[in-house]
Amino acid sequence: MRIAFFDPFSGASGDMILGALLDVGLPEKALRSDLGKLNLPGYTLLITRDERGSVAGTRVVVTPDVEQPHRHWRDIRTLIEESALDAPVRDAALSIFARLAEAEAGVHGTTPDEVHFHEVGGVDAIVDICGACIGLALLGVRAVFSGPPRLGSGFVRAAHGLLPVPAPATAALLARAGAPSAGPDPGTESVQVELLTPTGAAILTTLAEFRRPDFVPSAIGYGLGTRELPWPNALRVWIGEADITPDDDANGDLLLETNIDDMNPQFFDLLSDRLFAAGALDVWLTPITMKKGRPATQVSVICPVSRRRSLEDVLITNTTTLGVRAVPIERVKAARRSETVVTRWGEVRVKLRAWNGRVIDASPEYDDCLAIARAQEIPIREIWNEAYRLGEVHVGRTMTA
């Protein structure tokens, strides 16, 4: 499986993450094309090669062409939800901004929807966050990992005035994710600068596991920071292949459950989306009856142990629950692999399922069929049926890696 491992030896910011992905092979043309799906006018994206401390890399600068408004979380959510971004990219970007809004709300004693973003609501943060999600998808990355980020020291001036480093929102993001951080190396303590920004922290704490798995690297890139520092001010990313599957976890799996009897049932749809974006392997709802005959809904989530804190955070902040149960579970898993078939209307991914080494089933990817059906205004069943017939030739064959 293809993974990305971020090495934030000089911290991380949104532009450094995007720069690192471009430096490691993200096609600039494809990135610009997908960013166009945001329908966010009024900015220039400058991508250049440069050096920081004799280390060459890619620098990304987003410059507004017109005065941009200060946006609330609800404004950014609407912008992303109404965009034409692919569903996985859209969900990941929404999850990052939701986590950022929750951290800011906690710092300022308000609710996420009332958060009035300043720096992190600017057009540059929107481009950086959505661009990072686009970049990981275009590079075929299926899992993200990170080393402990360096935070910096001193103070930083923001819209709310002079703030300690790490900024309160950055500290809240790290604490809520249980993420580690690296202290300064000897001789660097006197350099007072913010290394990990709220945007960088939001991306890493939402998408990454803070561990280094065994993997075979295939490419390395560097995203450059703004400042010249006594060390290379860059974020390194490794792209490689790891002998794991997306739902593998060294510590096993958990079943998270909570019972809810006092929430608008329409809210469960968005809750499911955010749970999947935060790393859930499966989510389902069960109607139940609680004490005194009250009808309720049981929310069940299967997840790796490593994603427990993030998913509990989603459940507690996005529902009315007062607590979440966690039970260790064991799972027997069929082998899976994806193939692409070419229908009359375009390419469709087909998921192959195998048992005892042989493919026993082929299932077309619904999102691919849906995109073609919408674009060409034809019944989705026609696309699904043809993709299924093409994928069925694999049934009975030996599953290869």
Whether residue 371 lies inside any domain: the answer is yes
Of 195, 219, 241, the last residue of a domain is 241
Residue 212 sits in the same domain as residue 294: no
Average of per-residue pLDDT across 98-121: 69
pLDDT top residue among 7 and 91: 7
Torsion of CA 133, 136, 138, 139, to 10 degrees: 170
Residue 144 sits in the same domain as residue 278: no
User: Tens of pLDDT along 222-233?
Assistant: 999 999 999 999
What does the pLDDT read at residue 111? Answer: 65
Whether residue 83 lies inside any domain: the answer is yes
d(CA 281, CA 304): 8
pTM of the model: 0.66
Cβ proximity of 234 and 225 under 8 Å: yes
d(CA 43, CA 39): 11
What does the pLDDT read at residue 247? Answer: 47
Least confident piece of the model among 16-20, 66-70, 206-210, 317-321: 66-70
Buried b / exposed e over 207-223, threshold 16 CB at 10 Å, is bbbbeebebeeeeebbb
Residue 235 sits in the same domain as residue 352: no
Residue 53 sits in the same domain as residue 172: yes
Tally of structural domains, the chain = 3
Distance (Å) of CA 84 to CA 121, 124, 186? 20, 19, 48
Residue 174 sits in the same domain as residue 50: yes
Is the per-residue pLDDT at 171 higher than 90? Answer: yes
pLDDT cut 90: percent of the chain above it = 53
Residue 127 sits in the same domain as residue 216: yes
Cβ proximity of 240 and 133 under 8 Å: no
Average of per-residue pLDDT across 385-392: 94
For the chain, the first-to-last Cα distance in angstroms comes to 10
Residue 100 sits in the same domain as residue 213: yes
User: Tens of pLDDT along 24-50?
Assistant: 999 999 999 999 999 898 899 999 999
Least confident piece of the model among 114-128, 169-183, 322-336: 114-128
Q: Which domain holds residue 177?
A: 2-241
d(CA 175, CA 21): 26
Residues near 201 by beta carbon (within 8 Å), at least 6 away in sequence: 12, 149, 166, 169, 170, 173, 174, 179
Residue 261 sits in the same domain as residue 233: no
Residue 265 sits in the same domain as residue 226: no
Of 314, 329, 344, the last residue of a domain is 329
Of 276, 299, 329, the last residue of a domain is 329
Residue 189 sits in the same domain as residue 272: no
pLDDT cut 70: percent of the chain above it = 92
d(CA 180, CA 201): 11
Average of per-residue pLDDT across 145-154: 92
Whether residue 145 lies inside any domain: the answer is yes
